[in-house]
Structure 1
Amino acid sequence: MSQSFKMNFNEQQSSVFIMFGMWRLILLWFTLFASVEMVTLEEGLANSDRYIRYDVSDFNTGMHAGIVLVMLYGILSIAVVGVLIISRALGYRSKGFN
């Protein structure tokens, strides 16, 4: 190998290491020194327009439980029917309990 190729390769390699090192420093900086604003519950409720970003109205627990159950059994049914269709397409048949 020529001397110039070795030098160019080493320069490229060191610049890559410097680049990854710089990204690590940037990530470390933003991880450790991120600005955080903490308030107590009383302060948050006193200025709810600024701190509360979700719907605080009451909701029907039974209705939400029903929606979740329909979604749960829908996903379960789709999974079971999918396995059934794939196994039938591959030629597997039920052998029974004998």
Structure 2
Amino acid sequence: MGTLQTYPMGPLLSNTHMVHYSGMDNRIEPQYKLRMPAELRDKLKKAAKESHRSMNAEMVARLQESFEETTTRPVRDGDLDALLDLLQARAKEREK
């Protein structure tokens, strides 16, 4: 059974399944079924496309980044525009 957790964007449900890969290394890797709001999925899909990764690879990369000790990450499309918007808004606030 999955565990239901509530987050600001709504509930997420995840199930864990063990998958056995046939082959020389005989690895067993966990797989997770994850339900998420459509809006979040769309954002993830867009980010994966911009990073030239699968959605799974994008999720794994983002999770790994969240556990790294440093706070740096690669610059993504839209980051500079968002930063510029923030700086312009702050400059307008100071002018008042």
Higher relative contact order (CA 8 A, sep 6+): 2
* Larger helix share, 1 or 2: 1
The TM-score with structure 1 as length reference comes to 0.26
Which structure is larger by alpha-carbon Rg, 1 or 2?
A: 1
The TM-score with structure 2 as length reference comes to 0.27
* Larger strand share, 1 or 2: 2
